[in-house]
Amino acid sequence: TPLDLATPESALHSFIRGREAFSALFNAPPASFARVAGGAIPLLPQLLAGCGVEGGIWTLFDGSPLPDVGGGMIRWQAGGAAIDLLAAAPLDARSARTVLALHETLGDALDREHVAAVLFAHYAGTATRWHALVRRIGRWTNLLGTFVTPRELARRTTGAGTTVSLEPDAFPPTLPRSTAAAGDDVITVAVAQAGQEAGAIVAATSPLAVVPAPPPARPPIAVQPPLRRWLSFAGPAGARRDADRLVLEHELIRVEAHPQTGGLLSLRRDRDGANRLSQQLAVRTTRTAGGGGGWEAAEDGVLTTRMVADAVERVVGENGRDSLVSRGRLVAADGGVAARFSQIVSLVEGMPLAVLDIEVELERPLAGSLLDSHVAARFAWHENEHVEIRRSLLTQSVATERTRFTAPHFIEIVPESTRVDVAADAVTILTGGLPWHLLSTPHVLDSLLAGGSVGRISRRLAIGLGLRRPWDSALALAAGTPLGVAIPGLPENVRLTVAELVTTDRQLTAGRFGLLESAGVGGEVTIDWGRPVARATVVDFTGGPRTEPAVAIDGTRTVVSLERYQWLQLDLGFAG
């Protein structure tokens, strides 16, 4: 799993497994870090420092881009942790040109960097004999400098590098391969992986969660009696009467289906509230540029289907609750049928959420790049509404200005006019593990459902308005567990992670927990554990004690300060 599609728990598990494998081979834990490929995530300084790594190499060796940090030695700070890394571009030790230009390389490093360091790279046994001569010189004199390991470099230059602090969205997302191989269903694989990870997280926290009592079955508020026939679109008057019936609502949210498309016409708080979101399904393809023609912008070659409903119905399910069911076709510009669809919309009792169960059957496989040819759920908002897009990264809410990004858990659409309570006015899309999303226009977002040769697609998403703690609902949706399950006593910007629970006679007596600041709002947080706290120790990811930050105990509560996006580990013991 790419790091930016993972959860913090799975990323940490991967690092711990690597640490254990390294220790088994070399009888000592790793002290430095480097990787050939794989990108980077803003959690890396915390993971590395928390696992005992002293330093490492910033640069990737496969040519993948990383944020520009200026080169040389850097001290990367994020989430209350820091790690010293070498950010020099690697020099090819297999080439004689590298040795011939060494005097210029060293001169530039001395002129520009506080700590002059040069990075050579080669596979074992492939270095040129001229590089071997440079190493020989380095063994006898420091005229050209001294060859050191990354660990030794970090020890000699601790704290001397340029301090670097990057916003989480600065790291390029992992995008799908440029072509879709036959039978390659990378989105379904990613959705399944996200579901497994979410299921493990939900299971770990379930002993602490409170399941709300289900309300008595009742029809949605202010909805006409269930319609028992397929809707006819014979004329405007009949269509209007039918559309009046295509509404579901309760005290927190109101959704309406479009009688002609079968998608969602509106998402509102109530009947008189403003429409915040609409939704349709579409197949996107890209026209091949014709030879001999004039220049054509990339967007001019985009072909998108129309969503045409054959039938829309409100039905009563086995649970006694109403759903909106639509079936129809996705029609290409030439009038041909590109796909057939069905969509079921239902409300979640006690939550401002509507669940979308989507099935699409393609008439023919899609060819080309997944980003250019795919089936998508399209979400749109008012073109005059200025919004901030926030995407899930490591289950945390991160502001983004990208038009192509990953968001395997949720996306928030926040009006720029919102200043005090962001969550109260945000539209939330729970993506159900879907990894990739495109901002087609400033007010249209496409969530990629499938591409390539996939014939039949089944996905579950959800949309909400004013949804608090979207990471909890997103994990529950991906895991297929009941929505609305909550852990009491948590601040709205903190997700609780569980590494270990100790029980005696079915009573929780101790545990190791993580406090994951998830909204980008640092400060003091208070957590009520619901039982007297006897001890509270801040630890690292290996369980070793840390001296800071300080944690205070106040009866059943703990008080500690969290940095933005910090993942703090606490070892707690409970009294009696």
Specify the pLDDT at position 555. 92
Number of domains forming the structure of the chain: 3
Report the CATH number that the domain containing residue 475 is assigned in CATH. Answer: 2.70.98.30
Q: What is the pLDDT of residues 458-474, one digit of tens each?
A: 999 999 999 999 999 99
- Does 72 have pLDDT greater than 80? yes
Kindly state whether residues 553 and 434 are assigned to the same domain.
no
Kindly state whether residues 462 and 562 are assigned to the same domain.
no
Q: Which domain holds residue 103?
A: 3-165
In the chain, the percentage of residues whose pLDDT exceeds 90 is 57
- In the listed set 479, 514, 545, which residue is the last one of a domain according to the structure? 479
Q: What is the pLDDT of residues 290-339, one digit of tens each?
A: 555 555 555 667 899 999 999 999 998 777 789 999 999 999 999 999 99
Kindly state whether residues 310 and 282 are assigned to the same domain.
yes
238 versus 360: which is more confidently predicted?
A: 360
Kindly state whether residues 36 and 101 are assigned to the same domain.
yes
Compute the 3-state secondary structure of the chain and give helix, strand, coil in percent, each to the nearest 5: 20, 35, 45
Identify any residues that bridge with 573 across adjacent strands, giving them in sequence order.
510, 535
**Do 226 and 292 touch, CB atoms closer than 8 A?**
no
| DSSP sequence for 176-204 | PPSS--TT--HHHHHHHHHHHHHHHHHHH
**Do 86 and 151 touch, CB atoms closer than 8 A?**
no
Specify the pLDDT at position 16. 93
Q: What are the residue ranges of helices labelled H in 437-520?
A: 470-479
Provide the 3-class DSSP secondary structure of residue 556. Answer: coil
**Do 341 and 306 touch, CB atoms closer than 8 A?**
no
Q: Which two tokens stand for residue 344?
A: 């079921």
- Does 61 have pLDDT greater than 60? yes
Single-letter code of the amino acid located at 226: P
Kindly state whether residues 386 and 421 are assigned to the same domain.
yes
pLDDT, average across residues 428-457:
94
Name the strands in the sheet holding 557-562, side by side, starting at the edge strand that comes first in the sequence: 523-528, 557-562, 551-554
Specify the pLDDT at position 226. 39
- Does 216 have pLDDT greater than 60? no
Indicate the pLDDT class of residue 419, thresholds 50, 70 and 90. Answer: low
Between CA 323 and CA 447 the distance in angstroms is 23
pTM of the predicted protein model: 0.89
Secondary structure element (H or E) that encloses residue 61, with its range = none
Q: At what angle do helices 470-479 and 186-205 cross, to 10 degrees?
A: 110
* Burial category of 530 from C-beta neighbours within 10 Å (exposed 0-12, middle 13-18, buried 19 and up): middle
Indicate the pLDDT class of residue 240, thresholds 50, 70 and 90. Answer: very low
Report the CATH number that the domain containing residue 9 is assigned in CATH. Answer: 3.20.110.10
Kindly state whether residues 517 and 424 are assigned to the same domain.
no
Strand 32-33 and strand 55-57: the pairing is parallel
Kindly state whether residues 383 and 529 are assigned to the same domain.
no
Residue 229 is assigned to a structural domain of this protein: no
Residue 205 is assigned to a structural domain of this protein: yes
- In the listed set 98, 130, 165, which residue is the last one of a domain according to the structure? 165
Residue 61 is assigned to a structural domain of this protein: yes
pLDDT, average across residues 4-22:
93
Kindly state whether residues 84 and 118 are assigned to the same domain.
yes
Residue 173 is assigned to a structural domain of this protein: no
Kindly state whether residues 503 and 474 are assigned to the same domain.
no
Specify the pLDDT at position 296. 52
Q: Which two tokens stand for residue 311?
A: 């039938």
pLDDT, average across residues 71-93:
89
- In the listed set 453, 479, 505, which residue is the last one of a domain according to the structure? 479
Residue 344 is assigned to a structural domain of this protein: yes
Q: What is the pLDDT of residues 101-158, one digit of tens each?
A: 888 888 888 877 777 888 888 888 888 888 888 888 888 888 778 888 877 887 888 8
Specify the pLDDT at position 270. 86
Indicate the pLDDT class of residue 362, thresholds 50, 70 and 90. Answer: very high
pLDDT, average across residues 152-165:
83
Kindly state whether residues 44 and 192 are assigned to the same domain.
no
Residue 221 is assigned to a structural domain of this protein: no
| DSSP sequence for 382-419 | -TT--EEEEEEETTEEEEE--SEEE-SSEEEEEETT--
Residue 389 is assigned to a structural domain of this protein: yes
Between CA 143 and CA 116 the distance in angstroms is 13
Kindly state whether residues 262 and 357 are assigned to the same domain.
yes
Q: Is the dihedral of CA 542, 543, 545, 548 positive or negative?
A: positive
Angle at 184 between CA 178 and CA 187, to 5 degrees: 80
Identify any residues that bridge with 388 across adjacent strands, giving them in sequence order.
414
Between CA 170 and CA 300 the distance in angstroms is 29
Residue 233 is assigned to a structural domain of this protein: no
Q: Nearest to residue 508, comparing CAs of 516, 521, 498, 518?
A: 498
Kindly state whether residues 90 and 160 are assigned to the same domain.
yes
Indicate the pLDDT class of residue 99, thresholds 50, 70 and 90. Answer: confident
Long-range contacts of 36-40 (CB under 8 A, 24+ apart): 36/60, 36/61, 36/62, 37/61, 37/62, 37/64, 38/2, 38/3, 39/2, 39/3, 39/4, 39/64, 39/66, 39/171, 39/172, 39/174, 40/3, 40/66, 40/171
Residues 6+ apart with CB under 8 A from 40: 3, 60, 66, 171
In the chain, the percentage of residues whose pLDDT exceeds 70 is 89
Comparing 34-38, 561-565, 569-573, the range with the smallest average pLDDT is 34-38
